[in-house]
């Protein structure tokens, strides 16, 4: 039998009492309130104290000595306390009833202060002697203009929630000049006055800026004072002060702004700490002032952005302020691309890429290129590209700078078919979801926890940020191709089309397979246009070969016509003005001959090798080295070109036809690379080395082989390394040695017949003795 636990008698009584209360038999006892009655003695004391009358200061005058009271009356009557006018404060006005004695005293003071003589008596501090106080006074003229202005405490109108708070501005007054306006003023006096005013403004700006940098949270109100200086309307220092304030605020914001975006988060019914509230208030005020500064800069920038029908004239000073404002916005975007209002800055700067002023474009273009290079998240890049795309939709005449900024983008590992892969992945996930529905409740919980753990592991490995970046890059490449395709279809501007084709060449590996056939047709149509330049033709050909060397290998496209274009126009480039196209020609030849070597016939490659050797004769040494480096690569990869090293022409299929522009029927196998003989006498030692190397069949070892420092260089590296763009010869030319002749052998300046030398000397001596020749005659 289980043993029952014992219950105390008090607990048993409580249980019975509670049961009776629930049944309503008895009522629950209520607690008696505490006795808060105040003793009668204390009440009587409070009542007596409330009924006691206050004297309101009537006995204060009795406590002051008569000498001191006379001194105070004299000082107030002579306005000797005018320094108190600079103190400003706001208090709620309280209505008080003054006694009759106070009213008479105030009237007496007013009567003493009235002075209609235009002068005032200023009382000085009294001197105490044995005989008593000696009072001193100074009589001054009353000038209303010299009365100091009262400083007012301005409320912080930045935030609407700060209604009852006020902040004190730093007082800074300019010293007045001593120039008498009633007399003629010289230019020297005006310049000196301007320099003095400007010096004081500089001190004011420097003081506010340095105080702000020392303690931003405490001195954040200095931003309001600095921004107000932008509205300074003093004509002598109007533009100079503006430029100084813009530069100062730029450096201040670059220093105090964080690298992340500030978000205004105000949770309801949540009590925050004092430090948190202080930091939140500082961030809100900082954002408000930053927005005002950007609005000022935007208004200055638009002074040089004229629209149709705008006939206003802009002064040079306004143009300089506008250029400085554009530069300031560019610097802010570079320094803090992820801070608030970065999108607004981009909206302002993008139209200036099409500004008619070259100086403005040269400021904005490098800034946007820098943002593209340093943007790791690809968020700001995507915003700018969308703005450029929208701008190009509404404007037909566009400067090339707006497209050249796109060439800075480095998009290599971009998967344009990510949407198709995502759809396939979603289908697999749906099937997996169907299998999960058949699981038990415990298994589904375990699966959910495992998924959360994997998500956390992805975040620690930064895989999620990589996915976001990959998504942004996909959207970027989509926007870029929308821009390029629109220009290819509609624009006939050579410069714009050249930049577009150059961009297609760089991003051709990212083009989706769906657009390959359309792109080939568009490029073929462009090559038939007469207005298309040689550089644009090269870009078309290179774009096609880049497309066909990647994912386009699976597409059945015949590029014969593009090979014919390249073979025909190869000799257009020379050492003259067209030498700048040499690197582009070499890159195109690499894509056409090296990357597609498995899909090119032997006849075509042999004819290209022969023409490439001829092409190297009309280039500078760096261009010739690029061609010879390309020939060396072809000799390594294709053994059929060795026939060009054989001098016996009977082994070919016919006579060489150098004027036929089809590489399939030129019959270059019937000739040899005689150009290597001419290149072996080239002025550049490395060209001689490469010519000997190719004429020997490009051996890997032996006397004719290349040194290790040259054998590993690519075609582009050979062209750039030996370029004389900086006027430096590579390898350096050795200093010529002095002409030292051996003993017994005459030098070039000596006479072989020594007797003739002596006869000449005798003639010269006789002439010197008789005088000049024309005198003796």
Beta strand pairing status for 154-155 and 133-134? unpaired
pTM exceeding 0.75: no
In-domain check, residue 67: no
Whether residue 436 lies inside any domain: the answer is no
pLDDT, tens only, 387-439: 999 999 888 888 889 999 999 988 766 665 555 566 666 667 666 666 656 66
Q: Would 503 be classed as within a structural domain? A: no
User: Is the residue at 128 inside a domain?
Assistant: no
Distance CA 321, CA 362 (A): 16
Which burial class, exposed, middle or buried, applies to 505 when counting CB atoms under 10 A from its CB (0-12, 13-18, 19+)?
Answer: buried
Q: In this structure, are residues 546 and 508 in contact, taking their beta carbons and an 8 Å threshold?
A: yes
Among candidate residues 637, 583, 584, the one with its CA nearest the CA of residue 609: 637
> Do residues 686 and 625 touch, judged by C-beta distance below 8 A?
yes
Q: How far separated are the first and last CA of the chain, in Å rounded? A: 169
Asked, for residue 292, whether it belongs to a domain, the answer is yes
Instruction: Evaluate whether residue 720 is within a structural domain.
Output: yes
Residue after which a domain boundary falls, among 374, 401, 423: 374
* pLDDT (0 to 100) of residue 433: 66
C-alpha–C-alpha distance, residues 513 and 547, integer Å: 9
Per-residue pLDDT tens over the stretch 589-646: 999 999 888 888 999 999 999 999 999 999 999 999 999 999 999 999 998 999 999 8
pLDDT of residue 694: 94
Domain carrying residue 345: 186-374
Q: Last residue of some domain: 317, 348, 374?
A: 374
Burial (Cβ within 10 Å: 0-12, 13-18, ≥19) of residue 655: exposed
Q: How many domains does the chain have?
A: 2
**How is residue 697 written in tokens?**
């069949």
Give mean pLDDT in consecutive 10-residue pieces for the chain, a chain of 777 residues: 64 82 68 48 46 48 66 61 42 42 52 53 74 72 44 35 38 50 71 82 88 88 88 75 90 90 73 83 90 92 79 84 93 92 93 91 93 88 93 88 90 63 67 64 76 68 65 87 87 82 85 78 84 86 84 75 90 87 92 89 93 94 94 92 85 83 90 92 92 92 88 91 82 68 50 72 73 42
In a domain, 575, yes or no: yes
Determine the pLDDT at residue 298.
92
Report the C-alpha gap between 236 and 195 in whole angstroms.
Answer: 9
Structure tokens at 322: 């506008």
Does residue 133 form part of some domain?
no
Total residue count of the chain as it appears in this document = 777
- Give the residue from 333, 350, 374 where a domain finishes: 374
């Amino acid at each position: 039998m289980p043993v029952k636990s014992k219950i105390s008698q008090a607990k048993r009584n409580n249980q019975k009492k509670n049961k009776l209360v629930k049944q309503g038999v008895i009522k629950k006892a209520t607690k008696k309130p505490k006795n808060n009655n105040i003793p009668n003695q204390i009440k009587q004391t409070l009542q007596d104290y409330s009924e006691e009358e206050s004297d309101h200061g009537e006995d204060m005058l009795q406590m002051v000595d008569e000498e001191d009271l006379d001194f105070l009356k004299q000082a107030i009557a002579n306005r000797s306390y005018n320094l108190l006018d600079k103190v400003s404060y706001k208090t709620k006005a309280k209505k008080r009833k003054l006694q009759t004695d106070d009213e008479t005293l105030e009237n007496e003071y007013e009567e003493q202060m009235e002075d209609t003589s235009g002068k005032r008596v200023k009382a000085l501090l009294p001197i105490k002697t044995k005989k008593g106080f000696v009072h001193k006074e100074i009589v001054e003229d009353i000038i209303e203009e010299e009365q100091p202005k009262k400083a007012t405490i301005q409320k912080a109108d930045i935030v609407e929630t700060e209604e009852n708070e006020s902040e004190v501005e730093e007082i800074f007054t300019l010293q007045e000049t001593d120039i008498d306006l009633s007399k003629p003023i010289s230019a020297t006096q005006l310049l000196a006055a301007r320099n003095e005013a400007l010096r004081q403004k500089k001190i004011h700006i420097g003081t506010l800026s340095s105080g702000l940098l020392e303690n931003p949270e405490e001195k954040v109100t200095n931003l309001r004072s600095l921004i107000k200086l932008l509205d300074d309307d003093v004509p002598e220092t109007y533009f100079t002060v503006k430029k100084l304030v813009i530069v100062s605020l730029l450096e201040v914001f670059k220093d105090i702004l964080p690298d992340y975006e500030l978000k205004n988060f105000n949770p309801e019914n949540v009590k925050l700490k004092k430090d948190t509230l202080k930091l939140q208030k500082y961030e809100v005020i900082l954002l408000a002032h930053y927005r005002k500064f950007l609005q000022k800069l935007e208004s200055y920038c638009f002074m040089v952005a004229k629209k149709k029908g705008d006939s206003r004239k802009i002064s040079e000073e306004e143009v300089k302020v506008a250029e400085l404002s554009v530069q300031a916005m560019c610097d802010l975007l570079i320094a803090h691309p992820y801070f608030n209002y970065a999108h607004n800055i981009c909206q302002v700067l993008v139209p200036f890429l099409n500004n008619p002023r070259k100086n403005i474009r040269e400021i904005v273009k490098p800034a946007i290129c820098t943002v593209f290079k340093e943007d790791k998240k690809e968020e700001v890049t995507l915003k700018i590209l969308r703005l450029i795309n929208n701008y190009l939709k509404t404007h037909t005449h566009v400067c090339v700078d707006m497209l050249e900024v796109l060439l800075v983008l480095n998009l290599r590992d971009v998967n344009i078919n990510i949407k198709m892969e995502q759809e396939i992945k979603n289908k697999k996930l749906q099937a997996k979801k169907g299998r999960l529905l058949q699981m038990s409740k415990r298994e589904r919980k375990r699966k959910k926890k495992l998924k959360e753990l994997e998500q956390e592991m992805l975040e620690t490995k930064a895989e999620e940020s990589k996915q976001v970046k990959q998504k942004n890059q996909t959207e970027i490449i989509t926007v870029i191709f929308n821009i390029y395709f629109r220009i290819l279809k509609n624009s006939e501007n050579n410069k714009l089309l050249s930049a577009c084709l150059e961009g297609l060449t760089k991003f051709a590996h990212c083009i989706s397979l769906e657009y390959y056939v359309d792109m080939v047709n568009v490029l073929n149509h462009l090559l038939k246009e007469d207005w298309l330049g040689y550089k644009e033709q090269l870009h078309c050909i290179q774009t096609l070969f880049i497309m066909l060397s990647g994912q386009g290998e699976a597409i059945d496209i015949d590029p014969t016509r593009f090979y014919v274009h390249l073979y025909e126009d190869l000799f257009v480039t020379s050492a003259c003005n067209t030498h700048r196209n040499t690197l582009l020609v070499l890159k195109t030849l690499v894509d056409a001959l090296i990357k597609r070597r498995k899909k090119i016939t032997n006849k075509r490659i042999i004819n290209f090798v022969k023409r490439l050797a001829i092409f190297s004769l009309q280039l500078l040494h760096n261009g010739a080295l690029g061609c010879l480096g390309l020939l060396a690569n072809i000799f390594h990869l294709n053994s059929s070109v060795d026939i060009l090293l054989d001098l016996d022409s009977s082994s070919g299929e016919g006579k060489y036809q150098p004027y036929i522009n089809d590489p399939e029927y030129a019959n270059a196998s019937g000739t040899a690379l005689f150009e290597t003989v001419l290149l072996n006498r080239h002025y550049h030692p490395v060209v001689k080395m490469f010519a000997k190397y190719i004429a020997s069949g490009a051996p890997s070892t032996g006397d004719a082989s290349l040194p290790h420092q040259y054998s590993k260089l690519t075609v582009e590296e050979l062209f750039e390394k030996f370029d004389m763009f900086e006027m430096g010869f590579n390898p350096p030319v050795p200093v010529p040695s002095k002409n030292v002749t051996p003993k017994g052998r005459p030098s070039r300046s000596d006479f072989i017949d020594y007797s003739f030398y002596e006869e000449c000397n005798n003639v010269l001596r006789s002439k010197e003795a008789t005088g000049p020749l024309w005198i003796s005659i």
